[in-house]
Copies of this chain bind each other. A is one copy, B any other.
Amino acid sequence: MAVTIRDVAKAAGVSASTVSRALSGSELVDPRTREHVLRVADELGYVPNRAARGLITGRTGNLGLILPDLANPFFPEVVKGVQARAREADYSVFLADTDEDPTAELGLVRALAKQVDGIILCSPRMSTEDMRAAATCSCVVAVNRRGAQVPAITIDNVDGMRQAMAHLAALEHRRIGYVAGPRSSWSNRERARGIRLAAEAEGVELVEVGHVPPRFEGGVAAADLVVAAKVTAVVAYNDLVAMGLMSRLASRGIAVPQEISVVGIDDIPLAGMFTPGLTTVSVPKEQCGRAAVELLLKLLDEPGVRAPRREVPTQLLVRDTTTVARRSP
């Protein structure tokens, strides 16, 4: 059926080992032999069987990527980054979407563990305990999540919130809302922490509003609470929540930004499509994906390193716009 290394060997008049060596670029083979073998392999359309190779080398050349919800526009960007970097390193990527079910994640890690060299875990809500367990199954890198001494790529949430708050404070807002995301989410905890610090530093009154799902509907649900809180500006857990917020505000006839300024986080593509363009804290999503692969590859090369971490910067992006100076009272 498929052409194997032995077919190539026979056709080239050499042994299988020589073919193997020639293909893996070993120096222990005569350049002329290599040349010849390579040409024959190419003519026969030989493609090495990675599974068979993996069986003996212990390396599969595969990566696993686990995420909570591909429908959240944040993640496709991360995936693209992971893909791109993985392909450069000649790795393939297994993708698993848990449908926001943190209890399914460990099972997926286990199932994937044998087929991959490492796993990138975007699991904001996984328990520390499960993280630890996951890390024992395979080489794991977490994204936007710290804990259990697992190597991680995170974004600088605290600085992002500082920027958002500084922007609003400069616009004279003095009473500002924060629409919190899922209680168990690491990102939410960091963002809440960051905005509290920033509020204090700026001398601004902070009103925290409910915990909502990190989706459009979450924002819709929070809008009335935000209005009741009588704030002049609000920062949402993420862009999707911000959009839901704005949608509901619009249907109540409350003008953004004239009556309430809104700031999101993530800078999902959608944020730039809306009118008015959403002011948001931009997160380099694709870069997060790339960085995660990068870290994983390094870990695979030098397993000695312990729990390295990398934090990528965030950048406030003022669009055209959902924030204005507070109206004089």
Residues of chain A whose beta carbon lies under 8 Å from any beta carbon of chain B: 2, 47-52, 54-55, 60, 62, 65, 70-71, 73, 75-77, 79-80, 83-84, 87, 92-97, 99, 110-115, 216, 243-244, 247, 250-251, 269-270, 273-275
In the complex, what residues of B have CB within 8 A of residue A250's CB?
275
In the complex, what residues of B have CB within 8 A of residue A112's CB?
92
Could you say which of B62, B71, B79, B111 contacts A80, with CB atoms under 8 Å apart?
B71
In the complex, what residues of B have CB within 8 A of residue A111's CB?
47, 92
**Listed A/B pairs (24) with beta-carbon separation below 8 Å:** A47-B113, A48-B114, A49-B55, A49-B114, A50-B114, A62-B115, A65-B95, A70-B70, A70-B76, A70-B80, A71-B80, A71-B269, A75-B76, A83-B97, A84-B99, A87-B96, A92-B94, A92-B96, A92-B115, A94-B95, A247-B273, A247-B275, A250-B275, A274-B274
Apart from A70-B79, A79-B95, A93-B96, list 17 A-B contacts with CB within 8 A: A47-B110, A47-B111, A48-B114, A50-B115, A51-B55, A51-B114, A70-B70, A70-B76, A71-B76, A71-B269, A73-B73, A83-B95, A83-B97, A92-B96, A216-B269, A250-B275, A270-B273
Report yes or no: B243 in contact with A273, Cβ–Cβ below 8 A. Answer: yes
In the complex, what residues of B have CB within 8 A of residue A65's CB?
95
Docked complex Cα distance between A65 and B96 (Å): 12
Report the minimum CB–CB distance from A150 to chain B (whole Å): 20
In the complex, what residues of B have CB within 8 A of residue A87's CB?
96
In the complex, what residues of B have CB within 8 A of residue A94's CB?
62, 92-95
Docked complex Cα distance between A190 and B71 (Å): 27
In the complex, what residues of B have CB within 8 A of residue A52's CB?
51, 55
Of all chain B residues, the one with the shortest Cβ separation from A77 is B71
Report yes or no: B273 in contact with A251, Cβ–Cβ below 8 A. Answer: no
Docked complex Cα distance between A14 and B52 (Å): 27
Docked complex Cα distance between A127 and B113 (Å): 36
Docked complex Cα distance between A29 and B113 (Å): 29
Given known contacts A50-B115, A275-B251, is B83 in contact with A96 (CB within 8 Å)?
Answer: yes
Docked complex Cα distance between A270 and B269 (Å): 11
Report the minimum CB–CB distance from A268 to chain B (whole Å): 10
In the complex, what residues of B have CB within 8 A of residue A47's CB?
110-111, 113-114
Of all chain B residues, the one with the shortest Cβ separation from A96 is B83
In the complex, what residues of B have CB within 8 A of residue A48's CB?
114
Report the minimum CB–CB distance from A136 to chain B (whole Å): 10
In the complex, what residues of B have CB within 8 A of residue A273's CB?
216, 243-244, 247, 270
